[in-house]
Amino acid sequence: MLTSRLNPVELTQELVRFNTINPPGNEDQICEYLQGILETAGFECKKIEFAPRRTSLVARIGACSSSSPSICFTGHVDVVPLGARAWQFEPFAGLIEDGKLYGRGSSDMKSGVAAFVVAAVQTAQMTKSGAGVTMIITAGEETGCEGAFHLAASKEIVDFLGPAGCFVVAEPTANEPLLGHKGAYWLKAKTEGITAHGSMPERGDNAFYKLAKAALTLEKFTFDTPVHPLMGQGTLNIGTAKSGININSVPDAAEMTLDIRTVAGQSHSHIYGCLCKALGSAVQLDTIIDIEGVFTPANDPWMEKVFECCTAINGVRPTEKTVSYFTDASALKSAIGNPPTVILGPGQPEMAHQTDEFCYVNKIEDATKLFSNLILDWQQS
């Protein structure tokens, strides 16, 4: 595709046509395709794999330095499975009907990636002699941000990107800016005992009883941190529990998984200490996922500019909002210098992971204009 005629809607269609269901992902081909577009427009690119065919792509143009930090965009190109329900529209065709572009990933979030890639290409002549633009296009977001964490741990990639002065996460928000999202702290709680025949339980030590007591303790557990004005309070949920090998044995091991969603200002290490104290030495806690939350206040100068740009495009002043799900920003934000961060993209948030997923065509076009305006404003500032 010629970059001079790059169209964000057509690019979204092309990206949807790559089957990147995770697992297995196979994001390598879509990243090679985007690399060709970006290099033609003058961007430097690097690819990084966290597993075979699990490729992420980073790109830069302009200074991208400590004295002239870039505006950075991120988006993932893996998508979730199709689900059991039949699709009315072929999920990898990128068909457009009644102003809607259908397909798996159309909203979450290949439209967002297409919009910022086109915006970056369209403004490349200005940004190559300015502060610059960086892009982080990740694999493996849907199953725990593996690609983003792997990328953030690479000194070569972090040095290549340089520091960012502001950060746009193009997840589906229908072009409404979100100030942040909760963190995810997933733990496995395990207890041990001694097995015995089920007819002689007194000879054993039932691990499940210990786990059940721990679960009841967690039912009453409360966080000791203040309520966040937008995010509310953190939450804790026991998602799974298992114990025993058969009905007539005393179980010598039991475990359950905890899904904790944290708000800005909550320390995961502090929560861990509080849980250990509440549960006691009989319960062992192991970390599954440790993803910090993200939040930038609305009175941040750059966020105020984002709100102005969104007002101009959408025709209405945005309200201050956050979301409960997490994004790659948790893995990437500190690696690029902890810039102010907005979650902002053309996809319909309610269509993420849905059968017959779609994105409104006009939202893709508007997002491209919005991202272009943010790029140009950043270079001028």
CB burial string 13-39: b at 16+ within 10 A, e below: bbbbbbbbbbeebbbbebbebbbebbe
- Which of 28, 78, 108, 366 is catalytic? The answer is 78
Parallel/antiparallel/unpaired status of strands 70-76 and 133-138:
parallel
Active site residue 300: no
Joined tokens for residue 109: 């979030």
- Which of 27, 28, 108, 141 is catalytic? The answer is 141
Active site residue 78: yes
Task: Collect all residues with Cβ–Cβ distance below 8 Å to 244 and sequence separation of at least 6.
Answer: 208, 251, 254
What are the angstrom distances between the C-alpha of 345 and each of 27, 28, 131, 173, 357?
21, 23, 23, 5, 15
CA-based torsion, 181, 142, 92, 352: positive or negative = negative
CA 10 remoteness from chain centre: 24
The terminus-to-terminus CA distance of the chain in angstroms comes to 32
Tell me how far apart the alpha carbons of residues 62 and 190 are, in angstroms, rounded to a whole number.
51
Parallel/antiparallel/unpaired status of strands 180-181 and 294-295:
antiparallel
**What does the longest C-alpha to C-alpha distance in the chain come to?**
79
Residues taking part in catalysis = 78, 141
